[in-house]
Amino acid sequence: MSNLDKSLSRRVFAGSSLVALAGLALGRNALAAEIEATPAQTMGPFYPVSRLAEEDADLTQLKGHANRALGEVIEVTGRVLDRRGNPMKGAVIELWQANAAGRYMHAKDTSTQPLDPNFQGFAKLRAGSDGGYRITTVKPAAYASPIGTRPAHIHFDVQGGNIRLVTQMYFPGDDELQRADRIFAGMGTAAPGAIAKLKGGNRYVWDIILDDV
């Protein structure tokens, strides 16, 4: 092989390597962009400053109480993931919500709807090794607020590694109230990422994607 041929071969190899590296980088960026981060939302005025002694994943039953919380009992499951789909093992999840009548267990909630003495209203848990979480609760009602009627939702405060996300999960089939809601509308095209999926009966699935890229 002549010196010229060798020089051309080296150039072709180097060019191919650069193309391959660029392709790998683009592939990584494309993969990272495949999962859209769950949109951040306001914490709202009713984050529980005082709580019941229990904060386990079943919000419908309290120790020593003979009755279960009123309303439609539902299960919400999902995974906490990063933008590449990797599980956020051990992520800390706090969640709180209104009861089935649309009232929060909070001193600033001046609603005339009744409190439910059998409803926990708040939970704190850790995601499993696969990023998974599971809660049993009641479906919250929509309620009147200073910014209009808010659609049914559950508040989440999620911390995985050094990333924190405060957001809200909404329910499918609530389109009219969601369209009219200032907070929901404020998410723009990212809003669908805040709606859980109904997986038959009373089971909802909602993955939480933390924006780590």
Dihedral sign (CA 160, 164, 168, 170): negative
Q: CA Rg, the chain, in Å? A: 23
pLDDT value at residue 15: 47
Active site residues: 104, 143, 150, 153, 155
- CATH 3.60.15.10, applies to 37-210: no
Compute φ and ψ for 189, nearest 5 degrees: -70, -15
pLDDT at 105: 94
Report the b/e string of 174-197 with b at 16+ CB within 10 A: beebbeebebbeebeeebebbbbe
CA dihedral 119, 125, 128, 134 (to 10 degrees): 20
pLDDT value at residue 14? 45
DSSP states along 162-188: TEEEEEEEE-TT-HHHHHH-HHHHTTG
Q: What is residue 2's predicted lDDT score, i.e. its pLDDT?
A: 57
One digit per residue, the tens of pLDDT, for the chain of length 213 reads 555 454 435 544 444 444 443 444 444 444 445 799 999 999 999 999 888 889 999 999 999 999 999 999 999 999 999 999 999 999 999 999 999 999 999 999 999 999 999 999 999 999 999 999 999 999 999 999 999 999 999 999 999 999 999 999 999 999 999 999 999 999 999 999 999 999 988 999 999 999 987
So where are the chain's domains? 1-34, 37-210
Question: Residues with Cβ < 8 Å from 171, sequence gap 6 or more?
Answer: 139, 151, 152, 153, 195, 196, 198, 204
pLDDT at 25 (0 to 100)? 44
How many angstroms separate the Cα of 101 from the Cα of each of 105, 119, 131?
A: 11, 11, 31
H-helix or E-strand spanning residue 81: strand 73-82
Q: Please report the pLDDT score of residue 18 as a whole number.
A: 40
Question: Which residues fall within 8 angstroms of residue 132, CB to CB, at 6 or more apart?
Answer: 77, 78, 79, 87
Spatial separation of the C-alpha atoms in residues 98 and 95, rounded to whole Å: 11
The pLDDT of residue 87 is: 97
Full-model pTM: 0.84
* 67: CB partners within 8 A, 6+ apart: 118
